[in-house]
Amino acid sequence: MTTRPFAALILAAGKGTRMKSDLHKVLHPIAGRPMLGHLLAAVDQLGAAKSVVVTGAAREQVEAFVAPLGVDVVTQEPQLGTAHAVQQGEQALAGFDGDVLILYGDVPLVRPETLARMLDRLNAGDAPAAVVLGFRPADPLAYGRIIATDGTIERMVEYKDARAAERAVTLCNSGLMAVRAADLWPLLARVGNDNAAQEYYLPDIVMIAAADGRRSAVIEADAWEVAGVNSRAELAAVEGEWQARRRLAAMADGATLIAPDTVWFAYDTQVGRDVVIEPNVFFGPKAVIEDKVIIHGFSHIEGAIVRSGAEVGPYARLRPGADIGNDAKIGNFVEVKNGRFGKGAKANHLSYIGDADVGANANIGAGTITCNYDGFLKYRTVIGAGAFIGSNSALVAPVTIGDGAIVAAGSVMTRDVAPDALALARGRQEAREGWAATFRETMKARKAKAGK
């Protein structure tokens, strides 16, 4: 792989009107990460020296997203075509003499390996003026065409300007290019707008270089990798493609997905070996599933770690900060938020455990809640190892239940409980013999009288 420095110039000035959204198009998420984030992660993985995003409308949204990442944002206004858009990055890349990858913010799935191939081809012995990423879609539609022989480009033409024979060519232009900075800016300065749309087209630099006697090269990628997003339907299609490939990767790495098409991963979901994932499971960002875990159906896991041997669900929800220990069990309709469960601890039914530490082998009965919020601040509950919390109990934080302690069912705990103690906090049970029968007879008589 080439060691020359490279910069990424990402075009994102389109208004995205077909998205019908107040959110900038490139910030719509795929697998829980904005499309632009996928691209930036790819170029970061390759070690980009600098990244620049060219935007137009809603610039402030893009700036807010990339500000923590050290990415520059420049504006294209008015929008006069792709060559004009790339020119807007010239000042941001002033003094940079490496290679430039030209990418598109709404083409999020291109792989780092493909970008590396583009850079390697640019720096091959024949030193092409530019490298264009081509693809062969099932339906070429109105994509620009690439006419090439043995990987050398003879002509590139936009569909609007193509003749019938050129439209019959199946090799299409993705728009992604790699060019040396020393070549890029002089070539762009010579691009004209004598075409059907009266726009300045980036692909024209290939033909301008050819007129100077310098050939450009094309390499190919799979069509899915350069799929663009211009509408909600295309967003869903790209999401589906990403998910399908992630499911295959999970299974190839040793996980069992009972119904793969119903499992949804986030961009950073980690899944170990011998994990079993039942149907209709959703992973949000920052979920880590260690080896030999079982995730039952209809569970939602985000920002949580599930350690080896644990079991989750069905219908469980693990929120950010949940840490489910080895061999622990989180059962049906149990929600855990910022809660740590020790080895072998259990909450099998219908409970909310928030801001809590649950010791090893503790048992949380059905209907238990940790009352962690007073409307202003949150507080922590500590449940000791081997403790038993009876059903329908409320633990009002801050409170500590000692190791081995038992909380009787239906109790409300507002004070700490010593280890191995029995704690009860509920009204005394009272029974009045015959009262129910007398009540029924009285009410029947009253009802009959009212009916008259």
> Based on the domain organization, do 220 and 253 belong to the same domain?
no
Give me the CATH number covering residue 124: 3.90.550.10
163 part of a folded domain:
yes
Segment among 115-124, 286-295, 422-431 with least mean pLDDT: 422-431
Residue 452: which pLDDT band, with cuts at 50, 70 and 90?
A: low
Average pLDDT over residues 277-302: 98
- 3-class SS at 27? helix
Strands (E), 35-171: 50-55, 72-75, 99-104, 130-135, 145-149, 152-157
Instruction: Say whether 349 is catalytic.
Output: yes
Q: For strand 130-135 and strand 172-180, is the pairing parallel, antiparallel, or unpaired?
A: antiparallel
Give me the CATH number covering residue 405: 2.160.10.10
In the predicted structure, residue 75 carries a pLDDT above the cut 80: yes
> Based on the domain organization, do 183 and 289 belong to the same domain?
no
pLDDT in the model for residue 15: 77
Tell me which of 28, 38, 84, 349 is the catalytic residue: 349
pLDDT in the model for residue 427: 86
What distance in Å separates the CA atoms of residue 143 and residue 163, rounded to the nearest whole number? 13
Last residue of a domain, one of 194, 226, 258: 226
Segment among 192-206, 214-228, 361-375 with least mean pLDDT: 192-206
Model pLDDT for residues 316-359, shown as the tens digit of each residue: 999 999 999 999 999 999 999 999 999 999 999 999 999 999 99
pLDDT in the model for residue 1: 54
The CA-based angle 239-245-247, given to 5 degrees, is 100
In the predicted structure, residue 371 carries a pLDDT above the cut 90: yes
In order of 9, 266, 295, the CA distances from 93 in angstroms are: 9, 33, 48
pLDDT in the model for residue 57: 83
> Based on the domain organization, do 40 and 143 belong to the same domain?
yes
> Based on the domain organization, do 320 and 388 belong to the same domain?
yes
Residue pair 34/26 in contact (Cβ under 8 Å)? The answer is yes
Alpha-carbon 427 to chain mean position: 49
Q: Which residues contact residue 362 at a Cβ distance below 8 angstroms, ignoring those fewer than 6 apart?
A: 342, 345, 346, 383, 384, 385, 386, 387, 388, 389
In the predicted structure, residue 290 carries a pLDDT above the cut 60: yes
What distance in Å separates the CA atoms of residue 4 and residue 378, rounded to the nearest whole number? 52
Token couple for 408: 């009787």
Return phi, psi of residue 274, to 5°. 55, 30
In the predicted structure, residue 115 carries a pLDDT above the cut 60: yes
pLDDT in the model for residue 3: 67
Residue 2: which pLDDT band, with cuts at 50, 70 and 90?
A: low
Average pLDDT over residues 283-292: 98
434 part of a folded domain:
no
> Based on the domain organization, do 127 and 219 belong to the same domain?
yes
Q: What's the whole-model pTM score?
A: 0.91
> Based on the domain organization, do 29 and 144 belong to the same domain?
yes
242 part of a folded domain:
no
> Based on the domain organization, do 222 and 257 belong to the same domain?
no
In order of 211, 351, 356, 377, the CA distances from 413 in angstroms are: 84, 16, 14, 18
Residue 273: which pLDDT band, with cuts at 50, 70 and 90?
A: very high
331 part of a folded domain:
yes
Encode burial over 44-57: b for 16+ CB neighbours within 10 A, e otherwise.
eebebebbbbbbbb
240 part of a folded domain:
no
175 part of a folded domain:
yes
172 part of a folded domain:
yes
295 part of a folded domain:
yes
Instruction: Find the domain containing 283 and state its range.
Output: 249-423
What distance in Å separates the CA atoms of residue 368 and residue 374, rounded to the nearest whole number? 17
Model pLDDT for residues 380-414, shown as the tens digit of each residue: 999 999 999 999 999 999 999 999 999 999 999 99
Average pLDDT over residues 440-444: 95
Q: At what angle do helices 181-189 and 204-211 cross, to 10 degrees?
A: 90
Average pLDDT over residues 238-252: 98
Residues 151, 154, 160, 165: is their CA dihedral positive or negative? negative
- Residue of 102, 293, 62, 20 lying closest to 304 (CA atoms): 293
pLDDT in the model for residue 120: 97
Q: Which residues contact residue 71 at a Cβ distance below 8 angstroms, ignoring those fewer than 6 apart?
A: 40, 51, 52, 53
In the predicted structure, residue 196 carries a pLDDT above the cut 90: no
Residue 247: which pLDDT band, with cuts at 50, 70 and 90?
A: very high
> Based on the domain organization, do 192 and 110 belong to the same domain?
yes
Residue 79: which pLDDT band, with cuts at 50, 70 and 90?
A: confident
> Based on the domain organization, do 189 and 124 belong to the same domain?
yes
> Based on the domain organization, do 101 and 169 belong to the same domain?
yes
Average pLDDT over residues 354-375: 97
> Based on the domain organization, do 147 and 287 belong to the same domain?
no
Number of domains in the chain: 2
pLDDT in the model for residue 370: 98
> Based on the domain organization, do 221 and 288 belong to the same domain?
no
Amino acid, res. 316 = A
